[in-house]
């Protein structure tokens, strides 16, 4: 268990992010859910302000919805909320969930391999794990790394919220190490230009530039085999 001072540091970092992602990320997640026909019990792992949790509830796809985060539950989500430091393990839900979504949370946590093992433990055989995180292989992020020595979403403006950058290769390897079968990657249809975050590649190219090099966020999905 983390000591009090470390827990307070993690709490302040979590509160500083406001726990909100943008609609492009939520739409990418919803597309993955629909494309794979997912349903059953779902866990919004790293729920933040609860925006994704509410969207999952409104979709009517899921029989049971839970949300977990270090911050206290929003008033309307108290009955589904697990207040938990996600750097530590969640007890009591081994192989319970059909779908686990960790949206923009792995980069906030100290040990991404522990995180993926935790998601695999919580996921039932035959279930699915979805992770989204900043895309550190975009033109913008790679240019920031070459010029400033860090990925674009990990500079001082994002710290101490964003502390752990991962790449597609990392996610693929961590899935395999945790006994999950990687199914593929997707990208948001939103990618800011280097030095011009108010402009997107999609706007200046009329939608032609997209995918790995021109998206700010990546989604990885994996399945937990039944045997």
Average pLDDT, the chain: 93
Smallest CA-to-CA distance from 17 within 80, 81, 111, 104 is with: 104
What average pLDDT does range 55-75 have in this prediction? 95
pLDDT of residue 204: 95
How large a percentage of the chain has pLDDT more than 70? 94
* Residue 81 CB neighbours (<10 A): 20
pLDDT surpasses 70 at 17: no
- The runs of H, that is alpha helices, within the chain are 4-16, 23-35, 51-59, 112-122, 139-148, 168-177, 201-204
pLDDT of residue 8: 76
What average pLDDT does range 199-225 have in this prediction? 96
Given this structure, which CATH class describes domain 4-223? alpha beta
Q: What is the pTM of this model?
A: 0.93
pLDDT of residue 3: 65
pLDDT of residue 172: 97
Q: What is the DSSP letter of 135?
A: -
Per the rule left: phi > 0, alpha: psi between -120 and 50, beta: everything else, 179 is left
Distance CA 37, CA 33 (A): 6
pLDDT surpasses 60 at 173: yes
| Each residue's pLDDT tens digit, 129-163 | 999 999 999 999 999 999 999 999 998 888 888 99
- Domain residue spans of the chain: 4-223
pLDDT of residue 44: 98
What average pLDDT does range 167-172 have in this prediction? 98
pLDDT of residue 206: 95
Q: What is the DSSP letter of 174?
A: H
pLDDT surpasses 80 at 106: yes
89 exposed, middle or buried (CB, 10 Å; 0-12, 13-18, 19+)? middle
């Amino acid at each position: 268990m983390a000591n009090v001072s470390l827990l307070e540091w993690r709490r302040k970092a979590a509160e500083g992010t406001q726990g909100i992602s943008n609609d492009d990320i939520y739409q990418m997640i919803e597309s993955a859910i629909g494309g794979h026909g997912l349903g059953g019990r779902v866990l919004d792992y790293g729920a933040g302000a609860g925006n994704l949790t509410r969207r999952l509830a409104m979709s009517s796809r899921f029989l049971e919805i839970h949300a977990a985060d270090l911050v206290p539950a929003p008033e309307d989500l108290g009955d589904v909320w697990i207040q938990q430091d996600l750097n530590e393990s969640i007890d009591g839900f081994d192989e319970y969930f059909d779908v686990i979504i960790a949206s923009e949370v792995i980069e906030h946590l100290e040990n991404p391999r522990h995180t993926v093992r935790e998601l695999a433990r919580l996921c039932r055989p035959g279930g699915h794990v979805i992770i989204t995180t900043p895309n550190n292989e975009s033109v913008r992020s790679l240019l920031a790394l070459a010029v400033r020595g860090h990925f674009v979403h990990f500079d001082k403006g994002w710290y101490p919220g964003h502390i752990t950058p991962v790449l597609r290769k990392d996610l693929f390897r961590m899935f395999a190490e945790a006994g999950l079968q990687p199914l593929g990657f997707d990208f948001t249809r939103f990618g800011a230009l280097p030095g011009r975050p108010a402009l997107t590649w999609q706007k200046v190219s009329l939608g032609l530039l997209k995918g790995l090099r021109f998206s700010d966020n990546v989604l990885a999905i994996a399945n937990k085999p039944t045997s």
